[in-house]
Amino acid sequence: MRPGPGGCCCRRTVRANGCVANGEVRNGYVRTSAAAAAAASQIHHVTQNGGLYKRPFNEAFEETPMLVAVLTYVGYGVLTLFGYLRDFLRHWRIEKCHHATEREEQKKKKKKKKKKETKKKKKKKREMDFVSLYQDFENFYTRNLYMRIRDNWNRPICSVPGARVDIMERQSYDYNWSFKYTGNIIKGVINMGSYNYLGFARNTGSCQEAAAKILEEYGVGVCSTRQEIGNLDKHEELEELVARFLGVEAAMAYGMGFATNSMNIPALVGKGCLILSDELNHASLVLGARLSGATIRIFKHNNMQSLEKLLKDAIVYGQPRTRRPWKKILILVEGIYSMEGSIVRLPEVIALKKKYKAYLYLDEAHSIGALGPTGRGVVDYFGLDPEDVDVMMGTFTKSFGASGGYIGGKKELIDYLRTHSHSAVYATSLSPPVVEQIITSMKCIMGQDGTSLGKECVQQLAENTRYFRRRLKEMGFIIYGNEDSPVVPLMLYMPAKIGAFGREMLKRNIGVVVVGFPATPIIESRARFCLSAAHTKEILDTALKEIDEVGDLLQLKYSRHRLVPLLDRPFDETTYEETED
């Protein structure tokens, strides 16, 4: 069913308290109830919350079919049993051990020897051994499950990670314990795995030329920290540009996206503060929160009722035991969740944040550049004011084809970070050619380079996203996430299909990312496609054709809500909902 005029094809139940209940809440995901969805013959999950949203917000997490869930658990059961069996065989040296071993001198001595010693009851102190570096169960999963399908990860490439990529062929003669490079190169693999959202990963063009010029002038390193003598004019230029790009007062750039989170959150909050964190937040946010020493509470993924309850309880009841009020409350959310493909319900988060006087930390690692009509991220996408977000964080790795991260916000915030951020004091600053790449690509997106190239890229990505998601759904796959998110998770569920899907796709010259536990919940293994403005329609169609084929081969088309293919719709008509606002 296509949305009617006004973009109001939403089903919603309004509760007395004014909250919008979005279908059922199960396992932390907001899911459409199957019966209702079937009745409406559409799987889109649409909410429009009393005018908070200026555009339709379609996010779907189709429920796992029961049979699939049961079979997935059985699959893991079988794998675990075989794992134990093989561990047993390895222990008795029936199966050859391939893994690296501890140094002879540091190995834990066999128990026998110990027993002898105790039997003899030597009065001499019993010599302690080196405690083994890893606990056995830690490695069980790696040894027995991951190792079987290890070839799907860390595939080395030897070209620009653009729309097509060259992969180095490798082979394993010992069941993935080690790899040998055959020397062949698999050329022109369609790259559905890199976070090259706007297609700025290029080795030609203005960005590369500018970076090359700066490289020759400045060299690659900086050899000092920002506070000491590593603050180049280029860094200042970048920060000024980032602030303008985001529409905030000031910004600061850091050398690594991960560290931007993990080293700056501790500067903002500390003991006596409360962090409310989405359950699916990235590891860097989790680490930063942990290092800060603040109390951390987790709310269900993108679930505003859960967030509101936590906020209310926090303010009403204060700190546990001491009952003092919290010093401040910081909400940590991401713009696009990289494993779910969902977009944060930012208008609601901002409404809650204002109501409860909390602060908002928005991680736009995946959404900056990739969302919004002008590529300014999730704030732009919802048409909100960047002033309402206290801390705007993001990375340069993805849309800008460089590396590093930034934080933007009010001048006071940035001044404080300039003096107190861990990475300003202790970590080396960004490499000049990398800075130049960011500056050039950002100017391109802003249209300051005098071309409309950047704008076209942003539009192309939005079109690609809609098209690709729509086609996959029509084929009958279960696709998670928001229909505007360029991160497209395709559900595989069963552990055996993770490996099979990755390999089959590579055989067909398409590089995809497959993920399983622990990056996802145990039964929700998935493949993930990242769309790029560099993908042309031909590339996407080829990829879709092959995915369709592999989907049939591996029986991945789990969805019970088939969409009727809209054959009359031309490829580029993807803005049909935007125009209806």
What residues from 355 to 394 belong to the interface with another protein (CB under 8 A)?
355-359, 390-391
d(Cα 256, Cα 263) in Å, to the nearest integer?
10
Cα distances (angstroms) measured from residue 291 to each of 20, 182, 270, 277, 285: 35, 44, 9, 14, 10
Asked if 580 and 64 count as a contact pair (C-beta separation under 8 A), the reply is no
Q: What is the residue-wise DSSP string for 271-312?
A: TT-EEEEETT--HHHHHHHHHHT-EEEEE-TT-HHHHHHHHH
Contacts (CB under 8 A) with another protein, residues 486-515: 511, 513
Residue labelled with tokens 């010693």: 117
- Secondary structure of residue 47 in the 3-state scheme: strand
Q: How far is the CB of 333 from another protein (least distance, A)?
A: 16
Residue 522 binds to another protein (criterion: CB under 8 A): no
Question: Which of 25, 6, 24, 14 lies closest to 50 in space, CA to CA?
Answer: 14
Burial letters 344-356, b for 16+ CB under 10 A, else e: bbbbbbbbbbeeb
Pick the binder of another protein from 48, 58, 277, 431 (CB under 8 A). 431
Q: Which is nearer to another protein, 226 or 345 (CB)?
A: 226
Q: How far is the CB of 565 from another protein (least distance, A)?
A: 31
Pick the binder of another protein from 13, 33, 142, 575 (CB under 8 A). 142
Residue 544 binds to another protein (criterion: CB under 8 A): no
Residue 517 binds to another protein (criterion: CB under 8 A): no
Contacts (CB under 8 A) with another protein, residues 457-476: none
Residue 195 binds to another protein (criterion: CB under 8 A): yes
Contacts (CB under 8 A) with another protein, residues 253-272: 255-259, 263, 266, 268
Q: How far is the CB of 31 from another protein (least distance, A)?
A: 27
Count of chain residues binding another protein (CB under 8 A): 124
Residue count of the chain, please give it. Answer: 581
Q: Which is nearer to another protein, 328 or 560 (CB)?
A: 328
Residue 351 binds to another protein (criterion: CB under 8 A): no
Pick the binder of another protein from 112, 125, 321, 323 (CB under 8 A). 125
Q: What pairs with residue 299 in β-bridges?
A: 278
487-493 vs 525-530, strand pairing mode: antiparallel
Which segment (8-16, 40-48, 88-96, 349-357) binds another protein by CB under 8 A?
349-357
Q: Which is nearer to another protein, 40 or 315 (CB)?
A: 315
Pick the binder of another protein from 76, 140, 218, 517 (CB under 8 A). 218
Q: Which is nearer to another protein, 8 or 158 (CB)?
A: 158
Pick the binder of another protein from 328, 470, 503, 508 (CB under 8 A). 328
Q: Which is nearer to another protein, 76 or 416 (CB)?
A: 416
Residue 133 binds to another protein (criterion: CB under 8 A): yes
Burial letters 306-337, b for 16+ CB under 10 A, else e: bbbebbeebeeeebeeeeeebebbbbbbbbbb
Sequence-distant (6+) residues with CB within 8 A of 55 are: 7, 381, 382, 383, 577, 578, 581
Pick the binder of another protein from 202, 443, 469, 526 (CB under 8 A). 202
Q: How far is the CB of 263 from another protein (least distance, A)?
A: 7
Q: How far is the CB of 527 from another protein (least distance, A)?
A: 11
DSSP 339: T
Contacts (CB under 8 A) with another protein, residues 99-118: 99-106
d(Cα 344, Cα 146) in Å, to the nearest integer?
31
Residue 552 binds to another protein (criterion: CB under 8 A): no
Structure tokens at 267: 């500067």
Residue 154 binds to another protein (criterion: CB under 8 A): yes
Q: What pairs with residue 295 in β-bridges?
A: 274
Asked if 221 and 428 count as a contact pair (C-beta separation under 8 A), the reply is yes
d(Cα 316, Cα 258) in Å, to the nearest integer?
34
Give the dihedral sign, CA 86/90/92/94: positive
Asked if 211 and 382 count as a contact pair (C-beta separation under 8 A), the reply is no
Q: Which is nearer to another protein, 135 or 579 (CB)?
A: 135
d(Cα 214, Cα 234) in Å, to the nearest integer?
9
274-278 vs 329-334, strand pairing mode: parallel
Which segment (40-48, 50-58, 398-406, 557-565) binds another protein by CB under 8 A?
398-406
- From residue 304 to residue 323, the character string flagging contacts with another protein as x (rule: CB under 8 A) and all else as - is --------x--xx-------
Q: How far is the CB of 259 from another protein (least distance, A)?
A: 5
Pick the binder of another protein from 73, 82, 84, 130 (CB under 8 A). 130
Residue 49 binds to another protein (criterion: CB under 8 A): no
Q: Which is nearer to another protein, 266 or 335 (CB)?
A: 266
**Spacing of C-alpha 577 from chain mean position:** 26
Pick the binder of another protein from 155, 301, 473, 497 (CB under 8 A). 155
- Secondary structure of residue 576 in the 3-state scheme: coil
Q: How far is the CB of 327 from another protein (least distance, A)?
A: 5
Which segment (25-33, 60-68, 228-236, 443-451) binds another protein by CB under 8 A?
228-236
Question: Which of 402, 393, 390 lies closest to 335 in space, CA to CA?
Answer: 393
Sequence-distant (6+) residues with CB within 8 A of 282 are: 261, 334, 338, 363, 365
Residue 160 binds to another protein (criterion: CB under 8 A): yes
Q: Which is nearer to another protein, 50 or 270 (CB)?
A: 270
Residue type for position 315: I
Residue 529 binds to another protein (criterion: CB under 8 A): no
Contacts (CB under 8 A) with another protein, residues 433-452: 433-434, 437
Residue 128 binds to another protein (criterion: CB under 8 A): yes
Pick the binder of another protein from 217, 240, 456, 552 (CB under 8 A). 217
Pick the binder of another protein from 51, 233, 568, 579 (CB under 8 A). 233
